[in-house]
Amino acid sequence: MSEPKMIAHKDGATGWLVFSNPERHNAVSYEMWQAIPDLMAEFVDDPDIRVVVLRGDGDKAFVSGADISQFEKKRGTKDAIAEYDRATYRANAAILSCPKPTVAMIQGYCIGGGLGIALCCDLRFAADNSRFAIPAGRLGLGYKYDGVKRLVDVVGPSYAREIFYTARQFDANEALAMGLINRSLAVAELATAVTELCQRIGNNAPLTLRAVKLAVEAALTDAGTRDRSVVDAAVDACFASEDYKEGRRAFVEKRPPQFRGV
C-alpha cells in the first residue's frame, strides 16, 4: 500500500492540490491534514497562480472522508481528539482563507470530511457519478458549528437537516438541485470543463476576484462581526491598480486584457 500523501503541482496559472490515498478512496490521513496549510500557502504566495483546484487521485473518489483506520490511535483520547481537530481546522481554514478562487473537482465519493473540504472551496464541479454524504449520524460523531454553518450557507437549513438526519448518499442530480454543486457533468467532460473554467478565471483581473471573494465572505458573516472596511479597501485597490488602466485600454482597443494583479 502506497503512503497517503498530498501532491501539489502547477499547470500554467492553475495550482493543483491532489488528495492521494487511492487504496482508501482518498481518505485523508492525519499527516495529509497537516500538509495542506503549507501547500496552500505556496499557491497563495506564487504570483503566477490565479486559481487553485482540489481533486482526488484517480477516478473513484474526490475524498471519502477522514481515514477512520487512524481513529483508534489518532482520536482515541480527549487530547488526541483535540490535536486531530486542530489539524483539520488548520487545513480547512487554509482552503477557506485562500484569497484566490478555489475549485473542487469532484468525481466518485465525496463523503464526510471530503464534503467538508469541498464546501471550503468557492466552486464545486462534479462528475455525474459523484456521491455525496455526511454519515456522522452512523458513526456517532459530533459536527462543530463552523462545518454545519458552511453547509447551511450553501444548501439552506432544510437540505442541511436532510443530509445530516438521513446520513444517506445523494447523487449528482440531487446535489445539483439543492445547490450543493455548481455543475454536474459527464465523467468524460469533467476535466475539460474544469480546465476551461480555470482558464477563464485566470484571464480575469486578480484584484477584482479577490475583492469579490472578500465581499461574498462578508455577506456570509454575522452582521455584528462583519468588517466591510476590508472589502472597501480591496475595491479601492482595484480602482488604483494598473490592471484597471489595462482593462480600460483593452476595451477601447478591442483586445483581450493582459492583467498582472497589480
- At 84, the pLDDT band (50, 70, 90 cuts) reads confident
- At 243, the pLDDT band (50, 70, 90 cuts) reads very high
Find residue 56's DSSP bridge partners. Answer: 19
Find residue 9's DSSP bridge partners. Answer: 16
Q: Write down the pTM of the prediction.
A: 0.93
Residue 1, pLDDT score: 52
Residue 4, pLDDT score: 81
Residue 154 near residue 180, CB atoms below 8 Å: yes
Find residue 11's DSSP bridge partners. Answer: 14
Question: In this predicted structure, which of 218-222, 246-250, 256-260 has the lowest mean pLDDT?
Answer: 218-222
- At 140, the pLDDT band (50, 70, 90 cuts) reads confident
Question: In this predicted structure, which of 25-34, 61-70, 141-150, 224-233 has the lowest mean pLDDT?
Answer: 61-70
Question: In this predicted structure, which of 73-82, 121-130, 151-160 has the lowest mean pLDDT?
Answer: 73-82
Residue 171, pLDDT score: 97
Residue 13 near residue 34, CB atoms below 8 Å: no
- At 139, the pLDDT band (50, 70, 90 cuts) reads confident
Instruction: Report pLDDT digits (tens) over 165-201.
Output: 999 999 999 999 999 999 999 999 999 999 999 999 9
Task: Tell me what the mean pLDDT of segment 204-232 comes to.
Answer: 93
| Cell numbers that stand for 120 in this block | 471550503
CA dihedral for 155, 156, 159, 160, sign (positive or negative): positive
Percentage of the residues of the chain whose pLDDT score is greater than 90? 84
Task: Tell me what the mean pLDDT of segment 82-102 comes to.
Answer: 93
Instruction: Report pLDDT digits (tens) over 34-79.
Output: 999 999 999 999 999 999 999 999 999 999 988 776 665 665 567 7
- At 259, the pLDDT band (50, 70, 90 cuts) reads very high
